[in-house]
Structure 1
Amino acid sequence: MISNARLLIVEDEEIVAFDIETTLRILGYEVVGIVTTGEEAIATAAQTKPDLILMDIRLPGKLDGVEAAKEISQRLNIPVVYLTAHADQPTLDRAKITAPFGYLLKPFQEDELQTTIEIALSRHQSEERMRLALAKEKELNQLKTQFIAITSHEFRTPLTTISSSNDLLERYCRDSMDAKKQKHLRQIKLSVNQMIQLLDDVLLIGRAESGKVEIQPIPIDLVEFCHNLVEEIQTNAGEEYQIIFNHQGEVSEACLDVNLLRHIISNLLANAVKYSPEGGVVTFNLFGGDTSVTFQIQDSGIGIPPEAQKHLFESFHRASNVGTIKGTGLGLSIVKRCVDIHGGEISVDSEVNVGTTFTVTLPIVLMVDG
């Protein structure tokens, strides 16, 4: 039993109230008061802060038990158990709206009352622990998002300085530039760009986790959009890779979020190239439908071990077989969050040393002439 629980009785029949009070004291509970109206129940509950209220439904005054319980639940967060002689459907329907912690019909036995009270107290404690945990998690997420934003800003300032200095060095050393200097300056520029991309990725994940990324769909020609991304990735990949783009169905007038879509496709294509270290063919298929569009990207690379597939979309997670292939473990985490924000689905089919296929399906809005 939850010891020293403090209970408030709301009952307009004096004999019944006295009987309930006697029973509660025998069971070891503390009775903080007995009131007869809904208005008194609210006032006394606010003053005494009981652990539980035993509430009759039919009460004199402007507020009956259901109305009083609703007010108490909203203002004071105190659990209510109804003790009533009424079990008709309209009364039950009204009572259910207030989400009571119990509904006990009079007359009731002592063990029934104790069981109902204990279950109600236990449930309320569990819900309070969950509420506090969620509030704490929300607070931590807000702090994490704030920290990420501040850190990102603080890192960008020196990175901008480094990038500007590198540009100046290229300009001043133009007449005396040799292959060795070019290599070092190019490496500096590449490293700065990688750091900026990492900051952007971490910031995006932080904003997505805190719910600050909203979908903003606009009309888009998907075929042209995908062609442009393929050309961009192909240029960076080199001649040892071939990215083949195919499309089926009507997709020229779909509404999607361009930024989210760019993150999804560019990350999946870049990964398909990155994890096919020996070169080869990457196939990118686009399928248009009436209410959705599907993107499928297939490679013949190193594949993903089964044990790693369980953690595939976790931030900073990398499979055990990536070896010396560089990466942060953020790409697929970003893809998953962008797909979720868009209300879509993503699946993976992969076998080690055979290849990997990612399939993304996103809902679309078709533009209608009007």
Structure 2
Amino acid sequence: MNSEDMHNHSIMVVDDEGVIITQLEEMLDSLGYRVVAKASAGSDAVRLARELHPDIVLMDVVMPGEIDGITACGIIQSEMDIPVVLLTAYGDERHVARAKAVHPYGYILKPSQNDQIRATIEIVLEKKDMERNLDGMVSGLRHTAEDRRLQLKEIHHRIRNNLNMITSLLALQALHSRSRECVDALQAVRSRVVTIARIHERLHAADSAETIDCAGYFQSIADAQARTTAVAGRVDVRLDCGEFHLEPDKVMPMGLILNELVSNALRHAFEDGRTGEVRVGFARSGPGYELQVSDNGSGLPVSLNPETSGTLGFELVRSLVAQVGGFMAVDRGNGTTFRISFPA
């Protein structure tokens, strides 16, 4: 610490003996520090600290009145964030234990040498400067994090509103369309957008979580499909997967895959008015996971190969399976079963 830095720092000296105060003031002046206040009682020290806010306080432990040096140290440090160095001729266990309880920045036993006091003051002031710099950095990071949180909240709000607007427009267009094929296509697109919106809500709620609980989310997709298709009431959709978690980057593609496969089964496997069920299973499979969607309906036409079909639904499924690094298998016995395996 150079001479200019010393003159920029103010010190308050507190001792019940005037001779000691004079000696300390002369010594500090010779070292280049500014003594801006002197007090002989703990209550006066607290009052002057509030008024003048010095950079550091040198305080005797034993003081007259109800507020001794240790009590005054606790008040000044906790309420005014001013570092206090305690000076005392008492090094017994009782005084040391009381001093530790208020966490002074320094504790010097009398009689003390000028070099010892100077070194202690420099260390304390340097430590306090570092603490303030650190507090400023932490405060800046908190503001940055809060700004980011508010920005993400605003982005989420806009995305949610835009997705809701899209689903409303698709539903409105479907109501005004006369072609059955057009209505079905619009409803399929709307279903995909709704699924994306649900995924977006899950991701926003999870915030920075490493994995996301998807059981309830998958159930909501299956339930929504069961309610909104023509087979509602005669085909059950059952979910058998328990609680499971996925990484955020897998939640979106797997949710869309589930939506496509359940929708496809409900729309095509029970067209002849039969009753039945669609089962959804999800479980660990070796080092990865396996999603199963099966139905006991009429089964896929022999001429239809999901792995090469050019329909939008199967093209989307194949693209999403590739996105998660998985593969798809199809079992045509007693209805149809799709198995989507992908790494953890």
Give the TM-score normalised by the residue count of structure 2: 0.61
Aligned to 2:288: 299
Q: CA RMSD in A?
A: 4.1
> What SS is found at the alignment partner of 1:55?
strand
| 194 and 272 in structure 1: CA distance in 2 versus 1, 3 angstrom threshold | closer
- Matches of 2:106 and 2:52, distance apart in 1: 21
Letter of the 1:37 partner, please give it.
A
Which residue of structure 1 aligns with residue 123 of structure 2? Answer: 119
In the TM superposition, residue 273 of structure 1 has moved relative to its aligned partner by 11
Structure 1: unaligned runs, 5 residues or longer: 210-224, 236-243, 247-261, 286-296, 302-321, 328-353, 357-370
Distance 1:109 1:130 in 2: 32
Task: Specify the alignment match of 1:170 in structure 2.
Answer: 174
Partner of 1:309: none
* Cα drift, residue 15 of structure 1: 1.5
Identity %: 25
The DSSP-based 3-state class of the residue aligned with 1:3 is: helix
Distance 1:146 1:62, change over 3 A: same
Q: Does 1:3 align with 2:6?
A: yes
Q: Deviations over 1:154-202 (max 9, x none)?
A: 33233212112212333443x5132x77446534542453255235413
Q: 93, 108, 111: which one pairs with 2:112?
A: 108
Which residue is 1:284 aligned to? 284
Equivalent-residue separation in structure 2 for 1:123 and 1:34 (angstroms) = 24
TM-score normalised per structure 1: 0.57
Quote how far apart the aligned CAs of 1:142 are.
3.0
Render the CA deviation track for 1:104-158: whole Å, top value 9, x for unaligned: 1111111111111111111111112222222333333333333333332333233
Residue of structure 1 aligned with 2:103, choices 95, 99, 108: 99
Match of 1:131 in 2: 135
Structure number with the bigger relative contact order (C-alpha 8 A, sep ≥ 6) is 1
Cα displacement (A) at 1:59: 0.5
Name the CA shift for 1:355/1:80 in 2 (closer, same or farther; >3 Å): same
Higher deviation after alignment, 92-101 or 197-206: 197-206
d(CA) in 2 for partners of 1:74 and 1:228?
Answer: 48
Counterparts of 2:203 and 2:44, CA distance in 1: 56
Separation in 2, partners of 1:20, 1:116? 14
Secondary structure at the aligned position of 2:11 is classed as strand
Deviation per CA, 1:208-263: give whole Å up to 9, x if none: 89xxxxxxxxxxxxxxx99988989999xxxxxxxx989xxxxxxxxxxxxxxx6x
**Which amino acid letter does the alignment assign opposite residue 201 of structure 1?**
L
Please list every run of 5 or more consecutive structure 2 residues that lacks an aligned counterpart in the other structure. 224-239, 258-280, 291-319, 326-341
Relative to structure 1, the CA distance from residue 20 to residue 323 in structure 2 (aligned partners, 3 Å threshold; closer, same or farther) is farther
Contact 1:272 1:299 in 2 (8 A): no
Q: Which residue is equivalent to 1:330?
A: none
Q: Does 1:194 align with 2:196?
A: yes
Note if contact 1:8-1:34 (Cα within 8 Å) is conserved in structure 2: yes
Quote how far apart the aligned CAs of 1:283 are: 5.4
Aligned residue pairs, count: 253
Query: 1:1-370 counterparts in 2 under 5 A?
Result: 1=1, 2-4=5-7, 5-173=9-177, 175-178=178-181, 182-183=184-185, 185-205=187-207, 265-268=244-247, 271=250, 284=284, 298-299=287-288, 325=323, 356=344
Aligned to 2:305: none
Distance 2:82 2:214 in 1: 56
Asked which structure has the greater CA Rg, the reply is: 2
Distance (whole Å) between structure 2 residues aligned to residue 145 and residue 8 of structure 1: 43
